[in-house]
Structures are given as C-alpha cells and as structure tokens.
Amino acid sequence: MQSIGQIVLRVVKVIAFALNFIDIQTYTSTIFTVKSTLITVTTKPTTQTWTVTLTTTTTTTTRTTTSITTTTGITCIYPFVQTPTGNCVNILIDFNNCGIVGYVCSMNYTSCSAGKCSVAPSVQLTNAIPIFTAAVNGSVDDRFYNVTLPFNITLYNTTTDSVQVTTNGVLCFGKCDRIWSETALPAQEFSDTTVFAYWDDLYVFANTSQGIYYEIQGDSSNRTLIFEYYCSHYQQETEYYHFQVVFFEDKPGIVQYIYYDISDGGITCTVGVQSSGNGPFIQYSFDQADSVMPNMTLIFDTNTGTYTKL
C-alpha cells in the first residue's frame, strides 16, 4: 500500500502534467498560477483531505547599464605641473607659478630660478621645453645634445630636421664638436653647417634655472623654432649669458640671434655662421669688446651672405 505522502506526490505530478509542466524546474522562468485545488484521497479506514497549492515565483531581473564619461586631461611631466585650468606650467622657471602652482613672485624679483623667486635673468619662452635644465639635471660643461625637429630648417644649402645643440653656444646641422676655445671663422673643427650664436666656454650651474630650452610657435608652414640659452661662464656663476637662436619655417636661409644678458660684452666669444670648416661663412665678431650687448638682435641671411644688426 502506498503511503499518504506518496499518493499526494503522485496527485501533484498529475496536476502538473495536466498543465503541461512535465518538469517544473525546467520551467521556473515561466509565469503561471494554479489556484488552490481540493484533493480528496480515500484510504481505509478514514478519509483525509489536503489542499495542495502550486505556485511559481517569477523573478524579474533588471540590468542597469551605467555609462561613465571620463575626461582625460593632459599629462604634465615634471618640472611641468598641471594647473586647475588644465595647462602645464614649469614650476622651476614660471614667475607666476614659482615652486608651486599659483605662487606669484613679488615685484622685488625678476625671475623664478629653480623654483625660487630670484633676481637672476628669467627664461623668456612661455612654454619652454628643456633640452637640459640645471634644476633637474645638475651642472654641465662641454656637452652637446641631439634635437629632432617637427619641420625642416635651412641654412646655406643644408636642410635638416635635426640639430646638435652644444652647451658652448653652438648649434650644428651635422656633427658638432665640444671644443670650448673659440677661434675666428671659418672654424675647421666644425665640418658641417654651424650656427655660432655665442661660441664661448659657457657653463650651466646646478640648483638654478640655467639650461638650454626650445619652443615651437605658430601654425604649420609659418612656424618659428626658438632655442634659448641661459648660462654662465665657466667658473664664474654670476656672469650671465642669455640669448635666443630663432629659425623660421617660411624663411629658409635666415637665422636670428636675440641677446638679453651678456656679462662681458662679447670679448671672449665668436658670433657668426658658416657652411663648412672651409666656408663660406659670415662672421660678426671674434673676441671683440662691447660687440654683443643686451637687447641686441642680429639677423644672418645665408642666401645673400650678409647680416643685419638691430
């Protein structure tokens, strides 16, 4: 004889089959409702009644997709630090962000040098990119660095998109030399097209804002490439030599020198430009007293072999 529990289970299966649910677990995702059903089972010697209720639980899952928009700002590499407006500033040389963003030097100072307000000359470029900077790299003497350019520059018959920049005030369109003792032009030590903005025994002192910087200004086809030197003389830290070398994308054959601070007036330097160690060349000065003064500009035109002093 079957037990009462077995009978009830069989009745439940019959009802489920009648409702086309052969396997209730298989259809748990289907919504259905079975009202309470009265089942009467007669057994000897008594009759018992159960109420069997079949129910299903319907689970509704709502998937919420959240779209997050992230605004990625520019990346500033030290000594550049990002301002609240999203710009990068060089806190080692920026007069209005000296040492930290937002700190403005008082009018008693003329520059921000190595992150401190100073009376030393200031770097003129607004967005100066350091080739070598003493505040980060320390002191340097008689070195040169390769710089790849975003556009071609031309002097004489040489066109290039890379230059070698020396710490002694010389830029080369080919291989440079570390020689620090200046001579009259043409200088045979420099075999390729060479710019002598201020060829002298210059030195970059540590813990200052001295160094060599560059910046690109303007739009394509009309861009200007500016190199800026801020140095001292070897073993003479308070003698300043501060000048820029400017090339013009739309003016091939032209180079411009702008002088800000020249402590000795040019008495121990060579200024000019040459095509090779044998010439042709344009010499402005060689160890000539008071030949190079602050706020002076020289423009060399290698197309005509002439220079202009402003």
Please report the pLDDT score of residue 217 as a whole number: 95
Tokens of 45: 């010697």
Predicted confidence (pLDDT) per residue in 271-305, tens digit: 999 999 999 999 999 999 999 999 999 999 999 99
Please report the pLDDT score of residue 87 as a whole number: 87
What's the rounded Cα separation, in Å, for the pair 92 and 151? Answer: 28
Please report the pLDDT score of residue 267 as a whole number: 94
Please report the pLDDT score of residue 10 as a whole number: 56
Please report the pLDDT score of residue 225 as a whole number: 97
Collapsing DSSP to helix, strand or coil, 61 comes out as coil
Per-domain residue ranges of the chain: 123-309
Contact 134, 209 (CB under 8 A): yes
* pLDDT < 50 stretches in the chain: 2, 7-9, 11-72
Tokens of 296: 């002076």
Please report the pLDDT score of residue 1 as a whole number: 52
Predicted confidence (pLDDT) per residue in 210-256, tens digit: 899 999 999 988 999 999 999 999 988 888 899 999 999 999 999 99
Tokens of 154: 């031309």
H helices then E strands: how many in the chain? 2, 21
From residue 59, alpha-carbon distances to 10, 28, 30, 31 in Å are: 28, 9, 10, 9
CA atoms within 13 A on the CB side of 198: 36
**Amino acid, single-letter form, for residue 60:** T
